[in-house]
Amino acid sequence: MAFGRSSKVALLQKVPLFRALSRRQLEEIAQLADEIDIASGRRLATAGETGYELFMIVEGKAAVKTRGRTVSLGPGDFFGEMSLIDRGPRSATVEAATDMRLLVVGNREFWRLLDAAPPLVVKIMRTLSQRVRDAEASASR
């Protein structure tokens, strides 16, 4: 189901991740991202495999499974950035824990997105730092 660009912008405005962005930046994102609906239980990333997309959650919840631990992500959260940034394999397996609505960007669009919306770069850096801290904390537990 394809949404027009203006309804995609309306969707983006509901996501806290994008709150700091201008209308123009939201329009650029709407152009770069595809909207997909995913059924509960679907696997979106597999640990160890090559990853080609970043996913941003609009509705629903995802379960991130890392070394014996499950982290829940919800609306406004994103995942899949690590493989795009360092071209390494997926660091965790991610599955839809409920039915989900997501925005997806491929590798090339990901880098264009960061150029188009610098506040997202800051947001992604912050989130990555938190994920490293989480991983460190759970490794030393």
Instruction: Tokens 């994103």: give the residue.
Output: 78
For ligand CMP, which stretch binds (CB under 6 A), given 7-15, 23-31, 103-111, 130-138?
Answer: 130-138
For ligand CMP, which stretch binds (CB under 6 A), given 12-20, 24-32, 118-126, 131-139?
Answer: 131-139
Q: Among candidates 98, 91, 74, which has minimal Cα distance to 128?
A: 91
> Which is nearer to ligand CMP, 25 or 83 (by Cβ)?
83
Calpha distance 59→32 (Å, rounded): 19
Residues in 26-55 that interact with ligand CMP by CB under 6 A: 45, 51
Among 90, 96, 103, 117, binds ligand CMP (CB under 6 A): 90
Token representation of residue 39 = 């059924």
Residues in 55-84 that interact with ligand CMP by CB under 6 A: 64, 66, 71, 79-83
Taking a C-beta distance cutoff of 8 angstroms, is the pair 95, 72 a contact? no
Q: Among candidates 79, 90, 63, which has minimal Cα distance to 131?
A: 79
Among 33, 38, 58, 94, binds ligand CMP (CB under 6 A): 94
Calpha distance 20→33 (Å, rounded): 18
> Which is nearer to ligand CMP, 27 or 65 (by Cβ)?
65
Token representation of residue 122 = 């800051």
Among 37, 115, 134, 136, binds ligand CMP (CB under 6 A): 134
CA distances in angstroms from 32 to 36, 41, 58, 103, listed in the order given: 13, 26, 16, 10
The site for ligand CMP (CB under 6 A) is made up of 45, 51, 64, 66, 71, 79-83, 90-92, 94, 131, 134-135
